[in-house]
């Protein structure tokens, strides 16, 4: 039998058991991998200013591998009256004129697989005050390049 003093002595010098952190890196990488999978990264930077129209029947166009983004908005400095009146067209990340669109679309289509080239959709996002002549020019350029699937982007009206 051990003396009483040694029993108390052993209890006092024992510390709290250490926490096993061997699985901590696995957990961190799993969470990191999850966020990398579910986060949608924007592929092109919008260089024009847009005030997108609102609509009630809005559907999200997501998960589509062959989307070409065209933005029509204001660019540049202010005019004499304080109104910004320089309109620009941006195709994916580059500023283009409507005459350049057919060549750019055919270049984009040539880089896609045949099945994605057939399903290629153009997402047209125009400012609500954009001149209809410019929008019409862009649509005619898309028609010349046989890009006939056009999605008009808008923000959803909150009910």
Three-class secondary structure of residue 15 per DSSP:
coil
pTM over 0.85: no
pLDDT above 60: residue 110? yes
> Which is more confident, 103 or 116?
103
Question: What tokens appear for 33 in the block?
Answer: 């991998």
pLDDT at 40: 65
How would you label 67-105 residue by residue, b for 16+ Cβ within 10 Å and e otherwise? bbbbbbbbeeeeeeeeeeeebbbbbeeeebebeebbebb
Q: What is the pLDDT of residues 112-148, one digit of tens each?
A: 888 888 888 888 888 888 888 998 999 999 999 888 8
pLDDT above 60: residue 11? no
Q: What is the DSSP letter of 41?
A: P
Phi, psi of 29 (to 5 degrees): -70, -30
pLDDT at 102: 92
Q: Are the CB atoms for 117 and 66 separated by under 8 Å?
A: yes
Average the pLDDT over 147-154 and give the result: 81
Q: To which residue do tokens 């669109």 refer?
A: 101
Q: What is the pLDDT of residues 76-85, one digit of tens each?
A: 655 445 555 6
pLDDT at 45: 66
pLDDT at 99: 92
């Amino acid at each position: 039998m051990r003396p009483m003093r040694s029993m108390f002595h052993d209890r006092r010098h024992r510390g709290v058991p250490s926490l096993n952190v061997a699985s901590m890196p696995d957990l961190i990488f799993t969470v990191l991998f999850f966020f990398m999978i579910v986060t949608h990264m924007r592929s092109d930077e919008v260089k024009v200013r847009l005030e997108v129209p609102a609509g009630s029947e809005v559907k999200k166009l997501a998960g589509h591998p062959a989307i070409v983004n065209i933005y029509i908005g204001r660019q540049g400095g202010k005019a004499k009256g304080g109104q910004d009146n320089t309109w620009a067209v941006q195709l994916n990340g580059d500023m283009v004129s409507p005459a350049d669109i057919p060549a750019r679309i055919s270049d984009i289509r040539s880089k896609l697989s045949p099945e994605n080239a057939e399903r290629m959709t153009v997402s047209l996002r125009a400012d609500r005050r954009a001149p209809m002549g410019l929008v019409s020019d862009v649509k005619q350029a898309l028609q010349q390049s046989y890009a006939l699937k056009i999605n008009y982007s808008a923000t959803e009206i909150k009910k």
